[in-house]
Amino acid sequence: MGSRFLLFESASGYALFERTPSEDIAQEMSEVQKSMEDFGRFSKIIKLKSFLPFTSAEAALENINAVSEGVLPETLRDFIDMNLPDKQRSKTELGVGDEKLGGAIGDALSVACVKNKLILELLRCVRAHFTKFIKELKDDLVKAQLALGHSYSRAKVKFNVNRSDNMIIQSINLLDTLDKDINTFSMRVKEWYSWHFPELTKIVPDNYTYAKVVRLLKNRANISAKDVLPELEKLTMDHVKAQDILDASSSSMGTDISDLDMMNICMFAERVIKLADYRSQLHDYLKTRMNDVAPNLSALIGEQVGARLISHAGSLVNLAKYPASTVQILGAEKALFRALKTRGNTPKYGLIFHSSFIGKASTKNKGRISRYLANKCSIASRIDAFSETPTVAFGNRLHGQIEERLEFYDQGKVPRKNIDVMKEAMNEVEATASKPEKMEIDKSTEQSSVSLATDDTKKKDKKEKKKAKKEKKKNKKRKREEMKAETPTQPKETDGKKKKKKQKKKQKSK
């Protein structure tokens, strides 16, 4: 039997241990665990043969990334090749903790790599007593592990500021909670202030403008028409409504209120106004993030519905992995499982129901258009997740396809094929990507290049229009020829029928 070795990868470097023949006695796991407790007994079984420290933190990160992916780095290959015996290389056994790495070592150096329960237990023992084998690493090993762990996790996350869907998930969840809170708080303002001025709720139904009017009017007993009327017109955007508010305040049925209570009501109305303003800012932020991360999905179905789909799926990549049937019912899982248990009708849509396309469709076509919309949403999410350059060309084309499908359901107008639409989108993307990047410094040359480009585009547009006109004329001629070819057969049949009818009438008269 040849010699046996153990390969141990640490944050400080690679270590190669040799297993002595006395290890053959302790084949059972219990004996190995007992030997692990005492370093003296364990050092008799396994001895350190060689240690190769990493030269820098960057080198450690490169090596650990290669080892985690099952690739053999050059430093590790040279280290194993130098320390393993050249004679009887095929009979030597190397204990490894990773099967992929063992396969790469075996292919490169023709060494038999082994991984079993005993090898894993021995590596665990080596990890526990590693600082005792190399006493110089007592203080530096923990720091090296911490630094390498941070750098390795940072590299694995691959965080991209421009394509981070986590911000979308957090913002849409916050937006939904803000909508609920603003509605409840605004209803509380109406209930609270209606004790003093109950007629205001009918005149100003909007919650946001109601809170602003409350902040402006305060106590109706102290209202002066000259000062309040122009500001009310600005808030309500209506002169008649502002005058109605002043007239109702003078003859209101509400009770009087103290200054302390009015101060608390105004403070609460101010908080509601600030929450509503923050909600509008957050909505604008969500639009910008969706246009950066998932432009095609937002162009197809809208920012809020697209963000809810991403949030429910967990990430944009998870949404891209879902089939269209899952995207269609995403958000209606409870109704789906209830229908499966009771053997009832399964739901037709989930979060997609909030899209405007389903509202436009008729009742009998809602299920069909939701299925078609889910298909296009899955295509748009895959393009956004796996494309390197974000574009809106595919989203706009898919949006037009759904509108054409709605016209087909209502009017019977045949829509375009998906292949033709995707070719148009690809041509648009290629045209935007192949724009001239070489720009000269002089302004005169820039202006001349722009004029030439515009002239070329105009010429191309004219040529395309001429071709389209020629094709239309050809199609009209073909249709006329087909109609002429069909028309002679019809009158013959009608003439024969007329002759037969005349003969039957003559026979009846006779």
What pLDDT, on the 0 to 100 scale, is given for residue 484? 60
Residue type at 194 in one-letter notation: S
What pLDDT, on the 0 to 100 scale, is given for residue 27? 52
Quote the strand ranges of 75-174, DSSP E.
93-95, 112-114
70/101 Cα distance (integer angstroms): 5
What pLDDT, on the 0 to 100 scale, is given for residue 294? 92
Q: What is the pTM of this model?
A: 0.61
What pLDDT, on the 0 to 100 scale, is given for residue 158? 62
* Helix residue ranges per DSSP H, 387-488: 393-411, 418-433, 443-486
What pLDDT, on the 0 to 100 scale, is given for residue 117? 85
Specify the CATH number for 167-285; select among 3.40.630.30, 2.30.30.90, 3.20.20.80, 1.10.287.4070: 1.10.287.4070
**DSSP for 228-294, written as a single string:** HHHHHHHHHS-HHHHHHHHHHHHT--PPP--HHHHHHHHHHHHHHHHHHHHHHHHHHHHHHHHHHH-
Q: Which residues contact 184 (CB under 8 A, 6 or more apart)?
A: none
376, 386, 384: which is closest to 418 by C-alpha? Answer: 376
Structure tokens at 57: 């933190």
Q: Which stretches of the chain score pLDDT less than 50? A: 1, 23-26, 436-446, 448-454, 487-494
**Dihedral pair phi/psi, residue 442, rounded to 5°:** -70, 140
- What are the structural domain ranges in the chain? 4-157, 167-285, 294-431
What pLDDT, on the 0 to 100 scale, is given for residue 166? 86
168/181 Cα distance (integer angstroms): 20
Structure tokens at 69: 């992916």
- The CATH fold assigned to 294-431 is Serum Albumin; Chain A, Domain 1 (1.10.246)
Structure tokens at 267: 């403070």
308, 320, 319, 295: which is closest to 169 by C-alpha? Answer: 308
What pLDDT, on the 0 to 100 scale, is given for residue 226? 76
138, 101, 108: which is closest to 123 by C-alpha? Answer: 101
What pLDDT, on the 0 to 100 scale, is given for residue 236? 82
What pLDDT, on the 0 to 100 scale, is given for residue 435? 61
What pLDDT, on the 0 to 100 scale, is given for residue 109? 85
Tell me if 134 sits within 8 A of 48, measured CB to CB.
yes
Residue type at 294 in one-letter notation: A
* Architecture of the domain delimited by 4-157: 2-Layer Sandwich (3.30)
How many beta carbons lie within 10 A of that of residue 84, not counting itself?
A: 18
